[in-house]
């Protein structure tokens, strides 16, 4: 695992952690300057939620991924409901990606624009496209920036809109989930939106190339490549985090 803050002197709002058989990654989000809404901040929220999910997954393979996320959202929201405006659309929130190995399969969950990449014969990218779809629709419908922001926020954690971990545990049930046989996989990557930029919009690597680079140099090498091509006209540097798991050795044991 490796993580890199997008800006020197600013908190890294990504979180990644692992317990036996499970990996959890969160990409924190919020509005800069919204300290009056939550005195804790986005980084606190992402790290607190990630730690809470990991704690539940550490209890064993019988823990349901959706249930672990829902209970953790409820727990962390309860920690600051009395001091912060947790319901405001601009208060701290996070996208989520997690994988868990159990009983010969790999379970996965994605909520928002974090990613799981399954590599077997070819890479399969598991994503939740709803946030990007809503963003594109809002841009097409509104010319004014303020109107776009209001319209985008109005569709957060709503049917027909997009879903993200925030103050409502029910959002967990809207996550993209599934399972695949371990025998079909060679390796798996879990990454935040900042790392996806190498593929889109930068076009420096394809998904197969990204997995090859992870195999050869590991997460630190991928993050070094990302920072080498920034700044980029398509966006300022973002926090970037990746976890890589080799499920099958390239060289069989003797």
CA distance 177 to 249: 26
Torsion sign (Cα): 208, 214, 219, 222: negative
Q: Residue 5: which of 244, 242, 237 has the closest Cα?
A: 237
Model pLDDT for residues 193-251, shown as the tens digit of each residue: 999 999 999 999 999 999 999 999 999 999 999 999 987 665 678 999 999 999 875 44
User: What's the pTM?
Assistant: 0.93
Q: Determine the pLDDT at residue 68.
A: 98
The CATH H-level superfamily of 11-128+163-245 is PPM-type phosphatase domain (3.60.40.10)
Domain assignments of the chain as residue spans, ordered by start: 11-128+163-245
Whether residue 253 is predicted with pLDDT greater than 50 in this model: the reply is no
Residue range 164-168: mean pLDDT, rounded: 96
Q: Which of 120, 116, 124, 107 is nearest to 248 (CA)?
A: 120
Task: Indicate if the pLDDT at residue 252 is higher than 50.
Answer: no
For strands 2-4 and 22-29, give the pairing.
Answer: unpaired
pLDDT, residue 254, reads 44
Looking at 31-40, 96-105, 172-181, 220-229, which range is the least confident one?
Answer: 31-40
With 90 as the cut, is the pLDDT of residue 36 above it?
no
Within 8 A by CB and 6+ apart from 79, the residues are 48
Q: What is the mean pLDDT of the chain?
A: 92
CA distance 106 to 180: 5
3-class DSSP assignment, residue 187:
strand
Cross-strand partners of 111:
96
State the pLDDT at residue 1: 97
**pLDDT tens digits along 39-85:** 999 999 999 999 999 999 999 888 899 999 999 999 999 999 999 99
Whether the pLDDT of residue 89 is over 90: the answer is no
Instruction: Give pLDDT, residue 232.
Output: 62
């Amino acid at each position: 695992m490796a993580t890199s803050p997008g800006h020197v002197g600013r908190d890294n709002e990504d979180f990644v952690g692992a317990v036996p058989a499970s990996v959890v990654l969160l990409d924190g989000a919020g509005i800069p300057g919204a300290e009056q809404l939550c005195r804790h901040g986005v980084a606190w929220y992402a790290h607190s939620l990630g730690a809470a999910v990991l704690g539940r997954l550490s209890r064993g393979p019988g823990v349901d991924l959706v249930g672990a996320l829902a209970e953790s959202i409820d727990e962390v929201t309860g920690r600051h409901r009395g001091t912060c405006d947790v319901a405001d659309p601009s208060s701290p929130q996070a996208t989520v990606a997690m994988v868990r190995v159990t009983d010969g399969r790999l379970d996965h969950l994605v909520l928002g624009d974090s990613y799981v990449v399954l590599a077997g014969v070819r890479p399969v990218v598991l994503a939740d496209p709803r946030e990007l779809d809503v963003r594109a629709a809002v841009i097409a419908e509104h010319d004014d920036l303020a109107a776009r922001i209001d319209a985008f926020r109005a569709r957060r954690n709503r049917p027909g809109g997009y879903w993200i971990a925030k103050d409502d545990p029910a959002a967990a049930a809207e996550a993209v989930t599934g399972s695949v046989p371990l025998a079909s996989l060679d390796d798996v990557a879990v990454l935040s939106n900042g790392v996806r930029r190498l593929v889109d919009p930068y076009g420096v690597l394809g998904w197969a190339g990204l997995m090859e680079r992870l195999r050869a140099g590991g997460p630190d090498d991928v993050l070094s490549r990302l920072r080498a091509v920034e700044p980029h006209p398509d966006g300022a540097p973002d926090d970037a985090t990746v976890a890589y798991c080799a499920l099958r050795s390239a060289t069989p044991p003797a």
